[in-house]
Structure 1
Amino acid sequence: MERYANLGGDSGVVGYEIGDDFVRIQFSDGSIYLYTYASAGANNIEQMKRLAQNGQGLNAFINRHVRKAYARKER
């Protein structure tokens, strides 16, 4: 899991892992959610990858666009 840069300073996201067709997100409460092409759509996953790597805007994007579109909660 990569550490999320959190350039805005107020994100609930602390880490992420990127795969070909998924993004795994770790939140500050320790929960980890898996978002996939199948669950959230390819365009959303690709945007989440960009935001994760840029270190800003990921938490807001998740809340606005894919909040409950995860494939599974892992922890």
Structure 2
Amino acid sequence: MKAYQDINSDSGVSAYEYGDDWIKVQFKHGGIYEYRASKIGSAHISTMKRLANSGDGLNAYIITNPDVRDGWSSKS
């Protein structure tokens, strides 16, 4: 996984990795969540990838979008 930049030092996200139609997000206080386009839609996946790469806003995006927050496919 790639370390999340967290440019404002205010995120609950610590790392991420992604493929064509999925993204995995590791949170500082609990687990790695996988999100899939088949469950939450490709628009959400694209936005999450963009935010992950920018190092800002990924945690806020996840917690403020119920479809994303509750739409993870697996947790480890």
Normalising by structure 2, what TM-score? 0.93
Q: What is the rounded CA distance, in whole Å, between the counterparts of 2:43 and 2:10 in structure 1?
A: 25
Matches within 5 A, 1:12-31: 12-31=12-31
Amino acid in structure 1 at the alignment position of 2:31: S
Give the TM-score normalised by the residue count of structure 1: 0.94
3-state DSSP of counterpart to 2:25: strand
Cα distance in 1 for residues equivalent to 2:29 and 2:9: 16
Deviation per residue, 1:10-43 (Å, 9 max, x gap) = 1000000011100000000240000010121100
Letter in structure 2 aligned against 1:33: Y
**Residues 1-75 of structure 1: matches in 2 within 5 Å?**
1-65=1-65, 66-74=68-76
Residue identity matched to 2:56: Q
Q: Within 1, Cα distance between the matches of 2:74 and 2:35? A: 7
Which 4+ runs in 1 deviate beyond 3 A? none
* Identity fraction in percent: 45
User: Partners of 1:59 and 1:67 in 2: how far apart?
Assistant: 10
Task: Report the number of matched residues.
Answer: 74
